[in-house]
Amino acid sequence: MTIPLSDLLRHLGPVDLSAVDARSTPGFDGGKDDAKAALGALGPELADLQERLHAGGRAETTDRSVLLVLQGMDTAGKGGTISTVAGLVDPQGLALASFGKPTPEELEHDFLWRVERRLPTAGQIGIFDRSHYEDVLIGRVRQLAEPAEIERRYDAINDFERRFTDHGGVVVKCLLHIDRDVQAERLRARLEDPTKYWKYNPGDIDERAFWDDYQRAYEIAVERCSTEAAPWHIVPAGRKWYRNWAVATLLAETLRGLDLAWPPADFDPQAELARLEADT
């Protein structure tokens, strides 16, 4: 019997990220080619499941939606995961949102304001490239808010996610975990390839000075905000092929769990066929 990947990667309670091998491949026996083949094989099922979800949203027969939250250090591969995994399904059923430095307008509101308006609606798969967690990650490390405000946010996040899941949503939170060496290797690759310069920012190296603080901030976020309703998954992301397979698999497991049926007809198919014949 195979253990669901979500059971393997889910973390509830305290976590020590330094003990997680970024290049490990839990739940996957095989190498790069095997993982690519497994991902390809998952594609048609994922597309079918998503079309069912999308159909239910369009026909207003479901209130289900899925939110995939991707967090990770620079170069952990949030963008690459989205490109690969989201690329397996119909873009018409996706709601992608990327959260960068808050705008002046966003700063005038509570930190959840900009996130709430980008939540997927019924039938959609939403994918967040960074998220409300930034406000307890960089927010904590770079002290962008008072300590008491940072403290308040963990509970606010749990309440927020709970409201979402109480109304048909499912949250899949993935921490794409890399180590300092993997990041150095990937930054180097960006600096050695002119087609990748646009992905590089000199600030990325400045931020490396805070590596341990970021790891601690991630650990606290997982400890405080991994709930039964919206658990965190720690996805080793030192190998891109494992990361892509793992996130796609978590998404597939989630969609399978929704028992998505095709929407029934709200008309009489035989009567409509007769109308059509009379008209042709």
Give CA–CA dist 122/64, Å, rounded. 5
Q: Find the binder of a copy of itself among 17, 38, 42, 55 (CB under 8 A).
A: 55
Question: Residues 67 to 106: which contact a copy of itself by CB under 8 A?
Answer: 79, 82-83, 86-87, 90-92, 94, 96, 98
Q: By rule CB under 8 A, what string of x and - marks binding of each residue 165-184 to a copy of itself?
A: ---------------xx--x
Q: Find the binder of a copy of itself among 29, 33, 146, 192 (CB under 8 A).
A: 192
- Give residues with Cβ within 8 angstroms of 175, minimum separation 6: 71, 72, 218, 222, 232, 233, 234, 235
Q: Find the binder of a copy of itself among 116, 163, 167, 197 (CB under 8 A).
A: 197
Q: By rule CB under 8 A, what string of x and - marks binding of each residue 122-141 to a copy of itself?
A: -------x------------
53 vs 234, beta carbon nearer a copy of itself? 53
116 vs 272, beta carbon nearer a copy of itself? 272
- Note the residue count of the chain: 280
Give CA–CA dist 60/21, Å, rounded. 44
Nearest approach, Cβ of residue 54 and a copy of itself (Å): 9
Is the CB of residue 13 less than 8 Å from the CB of residue 56?
no
Nearest approach, Cβ of residue 112 and a copy of itself (Å): 23
Strands (E), 100-231: 125-129, 169-177
Q: Using CB atoms within 10 A of its CB, is residue 117 exposed (0-12), middle (13-18) or buried (19+)?
A: exposed
> Is residue 121 close enough to count as binding a copy of itself by CB under 8 A?
no
Strands (E), 139-199: 169-177
Nearest approach, Cβ of residue 62 and a copy of itself (Å): 11
141 vs 230, beta carbon nearer a copy of itself? 141
Nearest approach, Cβ of residue 230 and a copy of itself (Å): 24
Q: DSSP assignment of 240-271, as one string?
A: HHHHHHHHHHHHHHHHHTT--PPPPPSS-HHH
Is the CB of residue 119 less than 8 Å from the CB of residue 126?
yes
Question: Residues 234 to 273: which contact a copy of itself by CB under 8 A?
Answer: 262-265, 267, 269, 272-273
Is the CB of residue 20 less than 8 Å from the CB of residue 234?
yes
Strands (E), 61-168: 65-72, 94-98, 125-129
Is the CB of residue 109 less than 8 Å from the CB of residue 66?
no
Nearest approach, Cβ of residue 264 and a copy of itself (Å): 7
> Is residue 200 close enough to count as binding a copy of itself by CB under 8 A?
yes
Contact footprint for a copy of itself (CB under 8 A): 55-56, 58-59, 79, 82-83, 86-87, 90-92, 94, 96, 98, 129, 180-181, 184, 187-188, 191-192, 194-195, 197-200, 202, 205, 208-209, 262-265, 267, 269, 272-273, 275-276, 279-280
